[in-house]
Amino acid sequence: MSRESSLSTGKAYPLGLVCEVWRFPKATGYRHRSLSETEGAAAACPEEGEPQGKRGPQPVVADEELLEAIREVLAAATFHGEGYRKVTVRMRFKALRVGKNPGVLRLMRRNGLLAPVKRVNEPGDKAHGGTILTDEPERMWGTDATSLWTGEKGWCWWSGAIDHCVQDIVGWHVAKIGDRFAALEPIRQGIRGHFGRFEGNVARGLAVRRDWGSQYTSAAFEGELRYLGIEDSPSFVGEPECNGLIERFIRALKEQCLYLHRFRNLEKARRISREFIADYNDKWIIGRLGYGTPREARGTFVKQVA
């Protein structure tokens, strides 16, 4: 095109400049090169105000088909509010040919299907070299608690513990009073379930990450950790690592379970919590685990040990 002259000026212009003026990609110019300059420009250049389609190479799956698949995945999902990355992975599970980011984000944003995100501008340097993730299970557990409302008992407490490697819930407890004994129950469940017995020094090599709530700083809680051989690992204000894994799980617990139900009593709260924990361990996919579930990740470590 640069060897041809403009009909109006008699000068030759490079293809890049022509494409920039007419607002279409170079690929379109090359594709219409066999046409005359007037016909090619009229066919390739959109009318004023006409919406333009996606530039560049066309995706393997048409937008209409991809949008329908996205809606089907969201409708069939066990958990609500999943982002475009998990939606992409779940479509791959169904053998739909989608790439790393084949317009899923674009279509979900355009059609209002993205989960709402609360953005908070926090001052300070976020760069750090610390981590609370572990390379194998039973090296660190995180524990924390949150409150829930029941019609008969009023405000009650949910306590839990999560493994920092495979991110499964090793123990949980619902009680009216969230004291030191309620805080210890998830740890006791985890010890019996993953160490096979409950006795002194049985959990040497394990650390428990916790915050500074009164139940976690009590003599009873710290004393039982010492009896079991567990290292006490308190989180500190301003630490980038903090107690993020269990706090992220509690956010999911609230959004996917506690906020969606009205609990008449503690029995119903325990039943609904038990069902959610089972779904979480079996079906919740995590990017750090290669979009596998906590149950699958733990099974992989069990096979490696065996």
The residue extents of the domains of the chain are: 1-54, 63-110, 140-305
Residue 19, C-beta contacts closer than 8 angstroms, at least 6 positions apart: 25, 26, 28, 29
* pLDDT the model gives residue 250: 97
Choose the weakest-confidence range: 30-39, 88-97, 166-175: 30-39
Whether the per-residue pLDDT at 33 is higher than 60: the answer is: yes
- Six-digit token string for 262: 């009205």
- Rounded CA-CA distance 56/25 in Å is 7
- Rounded CA-CA distance 236/22 in Å is 58
As a whole-number percent, the residues of the chain with pLDDT over 90 amount to 52
The mean pLDDT value of the chain amounts to 84
Q: What mean pLDDT do residues 76-99 have?
A: 82
Bigger pLDDT: 52 vs 187: 187
- The domain made up of 140-305 has a fold known as Nucleotidyltransferase; domain 5 (3.30.420)
Confidence of residue 82 (pLDDT cuts 50, 70, 90): confident
Whether the per-residue pLDDT at 76 is higher than 70: the answer is: yes
* pLDDT the model gives residue 294: 96
> DSSP 3-state assignment of 233?
strand
Confidence of residue 298 (pLDDT cuts 50, 70, 90): very high
Whether the per-residue pLDDT at 246 is higher than 50: the answer is: yes
Q: What mean pLDDT do residues 7-33 have?
A: 74
* pLDDT the model gives residue 40: 46
Q: Rg of the Cα trace of the chain?
A: 28
Highest mean pLDDT out of 9-13, 14-18, 109-113:
109-113
Residue 228, C-beta contacts closer than 8 angstroms, at least 6 positions apart: 187, 191, 198, 200, 201, 202, 203
Highest mean pLDDT out of 55-59, 108-112, 122-126, 186-190:
186-190
Confidence of residue 41 (pLDDT cuts 50, 70, 90): very low
- Rounded CA-CA distance 59/50 in Å is 22
Choose the weakest-confidence range: 45-49, 181-185, 242-246, 289-293: 45-49
* pLDDT the model gives residue 63: 82
As a whole-number percent, the residues of the chain with pLDDT over 70 amount to 80
Q: What mean pLDDT do residues 281-304 have?
A: 93
- Six-digit token string for 93: 């599970």
Whether the per-residue pLDDT at 226 is higher than 70: the answer is: yes
Q: Sign of dihedral through CA atoms 227, 229, 230, 232?
A: positive
- Rounded CA-CA distance 216/185 in Å is 12
* pLDDT the model gives residue 124: 47
Confidence of residue 55 (pLDDT cuts 50, 70, 90): low
Q: What is the DSSP letter of 288?
A: G
Place of tokens 């996205």: 70
Question: What ranges make up the beta strands (E) of the chain?
Answer: 140-150, 154-163, 169-175, 207-210, 231-234
Choose the weakest-confidence range: 14-18, 43-47, 139-143: 43-47
What tens digit of pLDDT does each residue of 115-125 get? 776 555 555 44
Q: What is the DSSP string of 110-159?
A: HTT-SPP-------S----------SSSSSEEEEEEEEEEETTTEEEEEE
